[in-house]
Copies of this chain bind each other. A is one copy, B any other.
Amino acid sequence: MTAPTPRKSPRQQRAHATCAAILEATARILESAGPEALTTNRIAEVAGVSIGSLYQYYPAKQAILAELVRAQRAALLTDLQDAVQQAAGLDLRATVPLLIAASLKHHAHRPLLAQRLEAAEKTLALDAETAALKAQIDALVVKVLAQRGVADPRQAAFDLAAMVTGWADAAVMAGDSDTVALAERMTRAANGYLGLAPGSVR
């Protein structure tokens, strides 16, 4: 019922290719035509695969979207873990920009896709695995902030994530491609939120 995981795991290489083609086709339709134009028949067509093959690996249309969302979350977790490792020994002021840069990475790569997946996530009933990833991400940020003396690390982690995500989406829509400058402006806001004195960012 609530099992948006692949219905059958691909064992051979061409099966993996089929799954990948389906996911990529879904991503491309999402980018070029939006969620309203995302139909299973069209996904199969763009992927160059028969509709039957699609349903051999994904039990429902939603499952394909869920898989993309899950992958995006997993990538974010990895990038954040890297950032945290890089921030070892650094103080709060130096850590924040690293976290922001990690969060912005996916928006920089395929901006429209990232935005549409986030929108889809709000409507989708996300599976247990994706929920677990979200929890891991949250816990990671909470821990980093707490270690650096932030007063209410839970609240702060939530607020900073909300701020960066929504802001990044809007920037993407407006065609702002200068991620570095965007990250710098976000850092200013985050510093203000955390009660850090303005100071020159460099």
Contacts of A123 in B (CB 8 A): 34-36
Contacts of A36 in B (CB 8 A): 123
How often does this chain occur in the complex, in copies?
A: 2
Nearest-neighbour CB distance to chain B for A150, whole angstroms, equals 13
Complex Cα spacing A171 to B158, Å: 9
Complex Cα spacing A198 to B195, Å: 6
Nearest-neighbour CB distance to chain B for A191, whole angstroms, equals 5
A193 touching B197, Cβ below 8 Å:
no
Complex Cα spacing A173 to B185, Å: 25
**Interface size for chain A: under 10, 10 to 19, 20 to 34, or 35 or more residues?**
20 to 34
Contacts of A197 in B (CB 8 A): 197-198
A122 touching B119, Cβ below 8 Å:
yes
* Chain B residue nearest to A62 in the complex (CB): B36
Contacts of A162 in B (CB 8 A): 166-167, 169-171
Contacts of A185 in B (CB 8 A): 155, 159, 193
* Chain B residue nearest to A171 in the complex (CB): B162
Select one of B35, B161, B188 contacting A170, CB under 8 A: B161
